[in-house]
Every structure is written in C-alpha cells, then in structure tokens.
Amino acid sequence: MIKFTNVDKIYNDGNKSLDNINLGIKQGEFVFLVGPSGAGKSTLFKLLTREEKISAGRLSVVGQEITKIKPNKIHKYRRHLGIVFQDFKLLKEKTVFENVEIAMRVVGANPKDIRPRVLEILHKVGIADKHNKYPSELSGGECQRVCIARAIVNKPAIIIADECTGNLDIYNSIGILNILNDINAEGVTVIMATHDIEILKLFPKRVIEIQKGKIVKDTKRDLYEINV
C-alpha cells in the first residue's frame, strides 16, 4: 500500500531531512510514527500527501509511483488519503455538518448521498447531536472528532494523523484513538505521528521511530516497551 525505497528528502537549504528511508506499510495496518521534534515525521507525511517531492529513491502509494503523478492529477490522488490535523483546520464560519459536507461537495459526490452520509459519519464519531454547532462552541476533543469525520467521509484508503491528540487530554485522546481503531478495523490503513507515551502503551501497535531523518526502530511486537 505504501512503499518507500531508499527515499531521501533534501530541502532547499541542503539538509537531509529524510535519509535513505526504506519502509513498507500494508493495507489495514495501524502504525505509530514517533521521534523527537525535527526528526522528519511531518516531512514523511508531506511526501505521502505530495506537498513535497522526494529528492531521491522511490515512493509508491496505493499502487501509484508518486513522482509520476502529474500536477493536475494530484488532487485526485489525494482522495485516497484522509488527513487529520493537530490544529483541526475547521472552517470557523461553518457548522459541524457543513464542515464535513463540504469535503463531499468538493469531490463531486452525488447531492442526494451527502446528507445521509454526513449524518452517518457524525454519528460514528459520536458528535451527531452537535451537528448544528460551530467549531467555537466545541471542545478540543469534539473538534478533533469533526476533523476525523471530515477525513473519513469520502472513504479514503489511508488516514494520516499528525499529532492529532497533541492538544487533547488523555481521556479525549483515548476517545480519538478508539475511533481510529474502529476505522482501522474496517480495513483503512492508519498512520499516526505522536509524542504521547501513554497512548503508545494503551494501544499496542507497530511503532516506527525516526531520528534525524533515519528509521532507528520498527517494531511489530505486541507490546511496545518504552525505553526510559
């Protein structure tokens, strides 16, 4: 589903932000990406979303060689991805319902499918009762649920979540992880960057650790033991 082969990323300043990344992620996997700030986690995500181009190597995602996607096809490629942001990026002047609805409109969904699908998804993430509220009227945990709803409404193959519990307390974080777990159980690949040790302990998943642009650990062990 995702395959990095000898991938480097060098920004214009000449520094190697990713250095010879070799990584395969299968469909339906749930992967945590960990590592200190500046390690290259966001850069790795930006290569997947094609916001940034690889500098060397090969990267294939959902069967497509990512360097070969033409600029006018990138938006279509991105439909395979659902992106969950730490800072939500919700539209302030739109309601919960509208924030999710708009994601379906931009991909040209059949108008008669939109309302039932949006309500179904809001229900799934546990926020259907707030569908008429504005983001400013919601807690951080609720905003993140809306953000997840928006990311999954078009049924992406891969969810990319960059520090998506970074602004939440542990109870809300667990709530978000449970939702991601449920989505993953339906076959969606989930890749989540996190600093949250508690979450890593509570949700034993594959953990990939990067430091200074290199993968230093990749475990599929049942339980991730934290090196203190």
Q: Can you give the binding site for ligand ADP, defined by CB under 6 A? A: 11, 13, 17, 35, 37-43, 163
CA dihedral 44, 50, 56, 57 (to 10 degrees): 80
Which residue number, 172 or 194, has a Cβ lying nearer to ligand ADP? 194
Which residue number, 41 or 117, has a Cβ lying nearer to ligand ADP? 41
Do residues 40 and 9 touch, judged by C-beta distance below 8 A? yes
CB of 22 to ligand ADP, least distance (A): 18
CB of 66 to ligand ADP, least distance (A): 17
Tokens standing for residue 95: 């309601």
Which CA distances in Å does 116 have to 91, 104, 105, 119? 21, 12, 13, 5
CB of 37 to ligand ADP, least distance (A): 4
CB of 57 to ligand ADP, least distance (A): 16
Q: Which residues pair with 4 in a beta bridge?
A: 23, 59
CB of 32 to ligand ADP, least distance (A): 13
Do residues 24 and 2 touch, judged by C-beta distance below 8 A? yes
Which residue number, 12 or 227, has a Cβ lying nearer to ligand ADP? 12
Which residue number, 29 or 162, has a Cβ lying nearer to ligand ADP? 162
Strands (DSSP E) found in 44-180 = 56-61, 64-65, 81-84, 158-162
Which residue number, 35 or 127, has a Cβ lying nearer to ligand ADP? 35
SS (H, E, C) 2-36: EEEEEEEEECCCCCEEEEEEEEEECCCCEEEEECC
